[in-house]
Structure 1
């Protein structure tokens, strides 16, 4: 690992009284030399001053400096105040600032000079984020980071992100991918005695090279989907469709007698699902009629139509079928499969848990596998928990204290809230970007695009994470139903006979009927009142739950009558998905 000592990972540059001032994350203000009057000079100064950060892996590389330019600094360095090319969101190649970079020996990535620019010179990298060009705007998913106008406060907050996650490198989704490669570098330098030169070799356990998806994993724009018909592109028999669950239903008469509905929200569900998840590392291999093995990641063609999900009674240990009112865990709509379909390994592993005989017709399997996302999960989990602690939410809180703290969380420190949102979006966006769709124009409908060259363009890994998150939540709901049988403390005699069944589901939010206006009323417990192992559990940890919202049963029925998923709006009546939650 590098022994370089860095003064800071980044600075926020601001102009005042005719000179530049650099604001460091440690709240120190540094006067920038007077000769720094343009972007090439600022980049050179960043390297000379010693900005940057050490690698996150023993075989990784240092992070280059990040310069964040405020509006005044942008103007001081001779850059326009806004991007006139609103289509490509970059400065034109004939702009004086671009020419100055070229004359000074700096090159740029193909994205050019834009809100997030990567400059290169002599194998050194300098990142530049331009605030007035939208570096932290809503589409970049940095939460409310764009509302931090004080340069020193912005430097401090971004410095915490750099310390807990990594030096920012674009959108939070882009940072999510970059973090994967930072903690598990695709390759490392080694000395080749034969050639007497340094060369790169793959790092075991990493994604070291771009690989093609299996045909059912290819999205419609992919070259492998060129021969796919429109009907096939919409058929689960031809296309892997592992997505989050979106489902709701009418309440029964007994359920409708409950005065409330309560939404349980699973904290950072995708991040929790990535923990200890075995994923494929190399290319997929096709096989006919394989025997299902939950230890082998891949995509399996299986007919689950007509399968009856069951679970063992917690007391008698006898198998009993799930109620018809339960959503199916095998489709994004919650409707039971109607024929053969492609599934990721976690979905079928859960089917086996539900007493279903899984007999694959065919499969695309990845024998080379490992816990690629484990280190990524660990770093983001620690960042999430540390930032929650800054806001006064800690692991040792009791349920009531935790729910009360979360109810007033948005009244907390704005900078910590912005950081918390950025960390959550880094996890969620990083997984989503593993199946990034093409951007801009291409020579043909199925022409390759630049993202396909990344080792982290892996729709199969994204599918496995979503599959794991969906089935994990469903498993908790089944445990809740099982525990509520024979118990009258949920909805009364009706629940004792029929059990507590979800009314609506939207990704990581599960809605239940309730006699009381609190999430604590629908969490399964043991005889001594402690949370039931394997069920929903209230707390701050990833995979635990918080209260998404509590509304009246009348409100729920009105939403269903409008054909709107109540899980989408139960949080203060607003669209949680649209708001990035």
Structure 2
């Protein structure tokens, strides 16, 4: 709202007829084409968003801040509901930074309408629940630390254009909304008797209800605790965590440890990874099939593996002490690369329906991820040095709104795929203390599927190990430490160039360590003076604790994030 009346950031939309609250609700009730179009034939259109500015609140006679008392909020809700009803509209039950305004199908006064109203100046206010629910919107609205309606509207449009869904309350929730949008769990079928459209489960959709199995029920589940109490094995497919081996004499003599970090490691595997849709069924003497998702009872303790690399089958990188449960990606790698005999598998929990469940989900996230980073000068297939130069500068977005938007969205997209995968075990719901309540509210939901997460983590860990192994075979260089996506290599210069394997064409050899922004490629995280690494390891610390203390050139970084010459080792 400006001094001359309504100003909409979408020019083709007609403005409200007047400046009063009644005019605004009447405008909402005209059936504005504000929606998120479905991206699957079986899906449904989503609510669009209208973002109100501080000037609009003032013009409509609404408070600049969310009322702080229950009584004041109730009075405001009554006022809004009364005005909405005059236009044939209804209001959501609670007043907060976001409210829903809608007209039901068949109600008098106009077409069916449903729209989400974001009261931008109120973001970050209200109860803890309201703050959490609107956390992602608050981040999208932030402009120099203050919520800005035009910025929020612009970023939501870009978000929807990239992913096909509106941002949810959290990145993890958005990941599930995206999956349900690209692979709907339900289809709408018209009832022949009533004519009403009713939801029906789609073939091959993820079922609701607690369908976990004891070896892969997640750390919080009572099934898991029961096995642990009996000292029985559970699935432990996790990222590599704090693995390290003793440095060789040659490595100790090199002046630097170069840290390279894998970009979007999960997205590099989820597009083609076969995952179980329905329950896992128990089998004895199973026939090994790498195309079947599931958990297999295997003993890798006697399998010879590469001495300079972490053991591929364990998150700690050490040789397992006996048999345990492993997901299909781990077993397949051990069979093909290390000649493990699958005839020794005595038990398995196998899927009756194995599909690349996250193919479309991955495609949307990869597309948004690559577009935002291209906006920041990071393009798939760049020359290694061009990439390093662009990566070093990509966060310097001052004065460029497009780059600022791209950097924020790139961060959110990374959180969405990580949070979405983490949602399969819903570890953030630890606030629910009662087991029975947790089982009903969390474990019985369609998105509580720890075995899916185990398959994804296993596939990403194996992909990382495959890159390490092929790079080592071609260059003779192996990491001496690994933590999640970060690999530590001894180097003669503070650069990863000497770790790369190139073909005669000058291009990186496929499947080896390569620099770039594409999922599965690596970026240069830092370079650590080797003397600092040796001191840390001698003290029993993992070198990953030093990764953020040094810049890529090996110089110490001060508390302000800048190089600190006084702290640089001589």
**Shorter-chain TM-score above 0.5:** yes
1:401 aligns with 2:386: yes
TM-score of the aligned structures, taking structure 1 as reference length: 0.79
- The aligned residue for residue 492 of structure 1 is none
Q: Distance in 2 between matches of 1:92 and 1:223?
A: 42
TM-aligned CA deviation for residue 183 of structure 1: 0.7
TM-aligned CA deviation for residue 72 of structure 1: 6.3
Q: Distance in 1 between matches of 2:226 and 2:27?
A: 51
| Contact preservation (8 Å) 1:142, 1:422 | no
Q: Which runs of 5+ in 1 are unaligned?
A: 1-14, 86-90, 310-321, 485-498, 575-581
> Using a 3 Å threshold, how does the CA distance of structure 1 residues 117 and 206 change in structure 2: closer, same or farther?
farther
| Contact preservation (8 Å) 1:56, 1:182 | yes
Moved more, 551-560 or 515-524: 551-560
> Using a 3 Å threshold, how does the CA distance of structure 1 residues 472 and 213 change in structure 2: closer, same or farther?
same
1:48 aligns with 2:44: no
| Contact preservation (8 Å) 1:303, 1:339 | yes
Q: Distance in 2 between matches of 1:212 and 1:284?
A: 8
1:455 aligns with 2:412: no
Q: Structure 2 residue aligned with 1:507, among 463, 476, 484?
A: 484
Q: Distance in 2 between matches of 1:440 and 1:20?
A: 44
1:543 aligns with 2:541: no
- The aligned residue for residue 341 of structure 2 is 357
Encode CA deviations 1:91-142: one digit per residue, 9 max, x unaligned.
7997334556777574759xx6555666665265433445544389899468
- The aligned residue for residue 304 of structure 1 is 300
Between Structure 1 and Structure 2, the one with more helix by share is 2
Q: Structure 1 residue aligned with 2:65, among 81, 86, 103?
A: 81
1:410 aligns with 2:410: no
TM-aligned CA deviation for residue 282 of structure 1: 0.9
| Contact preservation (8 Å) 1:43, 1:126 | no
- The aligned residue for residue 219 of structure 1 is 218
SS of corresponding position for 2:408: helix
Moved more, 417-426 or 97-106: 97-106
> Using a 3 Å threshold, how does the CA distance of structure 1 residues 128 and 431 change in structure 2: closer, same or farther?
farther
> Using a 3 Å threshold, how does the CA distance of structure 1 residues 440 and 22 change in structure 2: closer, same or farther?
farther
1:157 aligns with 2:161: no
Q: Distance in 1 between matches of 2:545 and 2:496?
A: 17
- The aligned residue for residue 74 of structure 2 is 95
- The aligned residue for residue 243 of structure 1 is 238
- The aligned residue for residue 567 of structure 2 is none
TM-aligned CA deviation for residue 178 of structure 1: 0.4
- The aligned residue for residue 564 of structure 2 is none
Q: Structure 1 residue aligned with 2:471, among 469, 480, 488?
A: 480
RMSD of aligned residue pairs (Cα, Å): 3.6
SS of corresponding position for 1:470: helix
TM-aligned CA deviation for residue 224 of structure 1: 4.1
Q: Distance in 1 between matches of 2:263 and 2:138?
A: 17
SS of corresponding position for 2:31: helix
Q: Distance in 1 between matches of 2:430 and 2:5?
A: 39
TM-aligned CA deviation for residue 193 of structure 1: 4.9
Q: Distance in 2 between matches of 1:441 and 1:351?
A: 39
TM-aligned CA deviation for residue 376 of structure 1: 0.6
Q: Structure 2 residue aligned with 1:426, among 392, 405, 416?
A: 416
> Using a 3 Å threshold, how does the CA distance of structure 1 residues 36 and 139 change in structure 2: closer, same or farther?
closer
SS of corresponding position for 1:212: coil
1:284 aligns with 2:273: no
